[in-house]
Amino acid sequence: MQHLKNLWLSLDTRKQIIAILGGLAVMATLFAIYQVATKPGMSLLYSGLEDRASGDVIQALEAKAVAYEIRGDSIFVDTSRRDALRMSLASEGLPGITSTGYEVLDGLNGFGTTSQMFDAAYWRAKEGELARTIISSPMIASARVHIATSLRRNVFRDSEPSASVSVITSGGTLPAGHAKALKYLVASAVAGLAPENVAIVDGQGGLIDASDSQNTANLADQRAEILRGRIQNLLEARVGHGNAVVEISVETVTESETIQQKQIDPDSRVVISTDSEETVNTSTNADDTSVGVASNLPDGDASAQQKSASNENRTRERINYEISETERRIVREPGAIKRLSVAVLVNSALGPDAPDGQENPQRSDAELSHLRELVASAVGYDEQRGDMITIKAMEFQSPGPLGTGSNTSLIEKWGIDVMSLARLGILALTALALALFVLRPILTGARQNAGVLAPPTAPPDRGSASRQEAMAALTGEIDDSPRNTNAMELLPSDRARMGGAISDQPGEDPVERLRAMIDERKEETVEILRNWLEPREEDA
């Protein structure tokens, strides 16, 4: 402690202030290093929540005494507790859905509530319930529903309700099939709303097309992908993985058609009933002797009788037949395959399967013919439909290595935070620089001043006895250790007074030189020692 006190007293005021400031800076740097080293790594807990949901989550974290950070619209917590906190908050229903549903109607009071107020609250509750249902899908992060309906349908009879749905997906785009399902969901929840009057808008403000034409195009692509996978698996079993490229173009029917047919076959009749009717009618008439024209004739035979007879036979037959009748109603929806085109490219090089002794072997035409038959059977080839299959064998270009290999470093393996290490390194270098370039020069200079200029505690007597003791000390044995050598080092002023006789050549022993000079100049040596031992006038 006395040594440190002497060092501190040997400094002037300016150096003392610099030393204090440097020490404070080093302490602040060390404290910052401690804070960074002991601070836990923060990971994202939730992001993009609404203000109400974020407030509920923060309130729950404070109740659990969990340290958190807010960066914009994101909430960060300790990495080691992130997963456990998510599960714990989920069990409490957080973050909750901020949209309100039918609970809006619970706050309505029967007194003072007009029909317009009730209708507005009802449609607001309807929109909230639909938004909750839509958000329940894992593909959708948030949703808003707006329903436009006329409250005075008796006045506006021709008005039809409409709706719009704004969705933000969790990632990627919303499929057309999902958008169509949302249309039917909203249309089914609102009376009189047609699915065609529902618009689906994504988070970027684009309209999601869920029409039948879009579905037809997607269906063609899906069929082409399924057929391509079948052919790819079939060919790679023979030519090897990566030695076959398959592309399929499916042309589908885009229009719908309804055909009604009624066909009657007269040859395929069956008697179901027979009705026969026969009528016989016979009549005979005899003439009487009544006076008439015949009796008045001169040659007439008045006594002769005239007779007439009639016979009628009539037959009618009715046969009822059941005739074969066929009625057909054909409805052709869009999506049927109209034409199919298949292009297959296989690697012509046989590779390891090549026979020994052949250079650059190629696939034979017979093998390509067999492959074509397999492809035709796999896709359902129909020549009358105009399908086309093309198979060619060409040499493939071997691609170079793409990208780099995935090597797991020690930092990723141990989960080390690189940014924290960088901050620690910067703070450590700052502390080291302050210690080396601020404190060390000050302390070194103070130590030198204390060793050279510090006065002795008790000055010796100036009498002859002291001078004889000094001379006796000079004539005694001198230790050759480095400590004594440094203690006998002369100041520059004393060296000048001695005439510069001491040589600085490295080949000479300084102790021997000092002994020689003491023997030659004893009086000057005693004077120098007296100056060292006597206190300075300013310190007296």
Write out the DSSP string of 97-119: P----THHHHT--STT--HHHHH
Taking the C-alpha atoms of residue 126 and residue 145, their distance in angstroms, rounded to an integer, is 9
| Amino acid residing at 395 | E
Delineate the domains of the chain, giving CATH numbers in brackets.
Answer: 1-38 (no CATH), 42-92 (3.30.70), 102-210 (3.30.300.30), 212-268+315-352+361-397 (no CATH)
Mean pLDDT: which of 75-84, 201-210, 483-492 is highest?
75-84
Residues forming a β-bridge with 280: 313
| 89-103, 334-348, 388-402: the lowest-pLDDT one | 89-103
Residue 244 or residue 412, greater confidence: 244
Sign of CA dihedral 266, 269, 272, 274: positive
Alpha helices in 39-172 (DSSP H): 51-63, 82-91, 103-106, 115-135
Walk across the sheet containing 42-47 and list its strands: 42-47, 74-78, 68-71
Q: Is the pLDDT of residue 342 over 70?
A: yes
DSSP 283-349: EEEE------TGGGSSS--TTPPPEEEEEEEEEEEEEEEEEEEEEEEEEE-TT-EEEEEEEEEEE--
- Token duo for residue 333: 């929806």
Confidence at residue 503, expressed as pLDDT on a 0 to 100 scale: 46
| Amino acid residing at 439 | L
Mean pLDDT of 352-381: 79
| 88 contact partners, CB below 8 Å, separation of at least 6 | 64
Confidence at residue 458, expressed as pLDDT on a 0 to 100 scale: 44
State pLDDT tens for residues 487-532.
444 444 444 444 444 444 545 577 787 788 787 887 788 788 777 7
| Amino acid residing at 185 | L
Helices 440-453 and 2-9 cross at an angle (nearest 10°) of 100
| 341 contact partners, CB below 8 Å, separation of at least 6 | 248, 249, 251, 387, 388, 389, 390
Confidence at residue 387, expressed as pLDDT on a 0 to 100 scale: 94
State pLDDT tens for residues 141-158.
888 899 998 765 555 556
> Is the CB of residue 57 less than 8 Å from the CB of residue 89?
yes
Q: Is the pLDDT of residue 307 over 70?
A: no
Name the pLDDT band for 475 (thresholds 50, 70, 90). very low
| 112-121, 177-186, 194-203: the lowest-pLDDT one | 112-121
> Is the CB of residue 190 less than 8 Å from the CB of residue 147?
yes
State pLDDT tens for residues 95-122.
866 667 777 777 777 677 788 888 888 8
Mean pLDDT: which of 12-21, 116-125, 418-427 is highest?
116-125
Confidence at residue 53, expressed as pLDDT on a 0 to 100 scale: 82
- Token duo for residue 246: 């398959």
Taking the C-alpha atoms of residue 219 and residue 385, their distance in angstroms, rounded to an integer, is 19
Confidence at residue 396, expressed as pLDDT on a 0 to 100 scale: 85
pLDDT above 90 coverage of the chain, percent: 16
Q: Which of 18, 94, 41 is nearest to 63 (CA)?
A: 94
Taking the C-alpha atoms of residue 404 and residue 483, their distance in angstroms, rounded to an integer, is 63
Q: Which of 379, 375, 376, 373 is nearest to 337 (CA)?
A: 379
Q: Which of 247, 240, 251 is nearest to 392 (CA)?
A: 247
State pLDDT tens for residues 289-304.
555 555 566 655 545 5
Q: Is the pLDDT of residue 474 over 90?
A: no
Confidence at residue 484, expressed as pLDDT on a 0 to 100 scale: 42
Name the pLDDT band for 1 (thresholds 50, 70, 90). low
Q: Is the pLDDT of residue 234 over 70?
A: yes
DSSP category for residue 438:
I
Backbone angles phi, psi at 277, to 5 degrees: -140, 125
Taking the C-alpha atoms of residue 416 and residue 33, their distance in angstroms, rounded to an integer, is 16
DSSP category for residue 207:
B
What's this model's pTM, rounded to 2 decimal places? 0.43
Confidence at residue 453, expressed as pLDDT on a 0 to 100 scale: 44
Classify strands 68-71 and 42-47 as parallel, antiparallel or unpaired.
unpaired
Q: Which of 198, 199, 134 is nearest to 168 (CA)?
A: 134
| 113 contact partners, CB below 8 Å, separation of at least 6 | none
Confidence at residue 174, expressed as pLDDT on a 0 to 100 scale: 85
| 100-104, 127-131, 319-323, 335-339: the lowest-pLDDT one | 100-104
Residue 462 or residue 273, greater confidence: 273
Confidence at residue 361, expressed as pLDDT on a 0 to 100 scale: 66
Q: Is the pLDDT of residue 452 over 60?
A: no
Q: Is the pLDDT of residue 323 over 60?
A: yes
Residues forming a β-bridge with 312: 281
Residue 194 or residue 335, greater confidence: 194
- Token duo for residue 64: 């659990």
| 38 contact partners, CB below 8 Å, separation of at least 6 | none
> Is the CB of residue 489 less than 8 Å from the CB of residue 523?
no
Q: Which of 428, 356, 465, 353 is nearest to 34 (CA)?
A: 428
Q: Is the pLDDT of residue 64 over 70?
A: yes
Taking the C-alpha atoms of residue 211 and residue 473, their distance in angstroms, rounded to an integer, is 115
Confidence at residue 114, expressed as pLDDT on a 0 to 100 scale: 82
Confidence at residue 537, expressed as pLDDT on a 0 to 100 scale: 46
Mean pLDDT of 338-356: 79
Mean pLDDT of 79-87: 88
Q: Is the pLDDT of residue 246 over 80?
A: yes
- What does R_g of the chain's alpha carbons equal in angstroms? 58
DSSP category for residue 353:
G
Confidence at residue 478, expressed as pLDDT on a 0 to 100 scale: 43
- Token duo for residue 325: 């009748």
Name the pLDDT band for 183 (thresholds 50, 70, 90). very high
Q: Which of 307, 308, 331 is nearest to 259 (CA)?
A: 331
> Is the CB of residue 208 less than 8 Å from the CB of residue 164?
no
Q: Which of 349, 422, 443 is nearest to 20 (CA)?
A: 443
Mean pLDDT of 197-203: 89
Name the pLDDT band for 390 (thresholds 50, 70, 90). very high
Name the pLDDT band for 25 (thresholds 50, 70, 90). confident
Q: Which of 254, 260, 230, 227 is nearest to 336 (CA)?
A: 254
Taking the C-alpha atoms of residue 481 and residue 472, their distance in angstroms, rounded to an integer, is 20
DSSP category for residue 162:
E
Question: What is the residue-averaged pLDDT of the chain?
Answer: 75
Name the pLDDT band for 429 (thresholds 50, 70, 90). confident
State pLDDT tens for residues 260-288.
888 888 777 788 888 888 888 877 765 55
Residue 151 or residue 88, greater confidence: 88
